[in-house]
Amino acid sequence: MSQETIARILAIEEEAVKVHDDAQRRAARMVEEAQEATSALREQTLAQAHQQADQIAATGREATQAERAHIIAQAEAEAERMETTATPHFERAIQFVLDQVAGRE
């Protein structure tokens, strides 16, 4: 083999080593970027999940408060109705007791 052929082969091998090393660096950089992107996506997904959970909890609290207000309003209306119904009976009961105490029938 001639010196020129050997030199050419060595130059090609050197170039192949450079290309290989460059490819490994680029592959490592791509893996690192993919890991960073995955981490960022994970954080974003978690943040969105927390936000949705907060919204669901807030909606639940609002629904609970509305239901509570509705139940209280119903109870107040029922208490008022019962009071209105009971008032005449109460007055008659008081009159009965007073009559009994006074000895009247």
Q: How confident is the model at residue 102 (pLDDT cuts 50, 70, 90)?
A: confident
- List helix spans (H) across 1-105: 3-102
Q: What is the pLDDT of residues 41-87, one digit of tens each?
A: 999 999 999 999 999 999 999 999 999 999 999 999 999 999 888 88
Mean pLDDT, the chain, whole residue set? 91
Q: Which of 6-10, 58-62, 89-93 has the lowest mean pLDDT?
A: 89-93
Give mean pLDDT, residues 6-22. 93
Residue 65: per-residue pLDDT: 95
Distances in Å between the Cα of 81 and the Cα atoms of 47, 74, 78, 84, 86 are 51, 10, 5, 5, 8
29 vs 90 pLDDT, higher one: 29
Rg (CA), the chain: 44
d(CA 105, CA 48): 78
Residue 70: domain span? 1-105
pTM to 2 decimal places:
0.53
Residue 105: per-residue pLDDT: 61
Is residue 105 within 8 A of residue 99, CB to CB? The reply is yes
Is residue 67 within 8 A of residue 61, CB to CB? The reply is no
Residue indicated by tokens 């008022």: 80
Give mean pLDDT, residues 27-36. 96
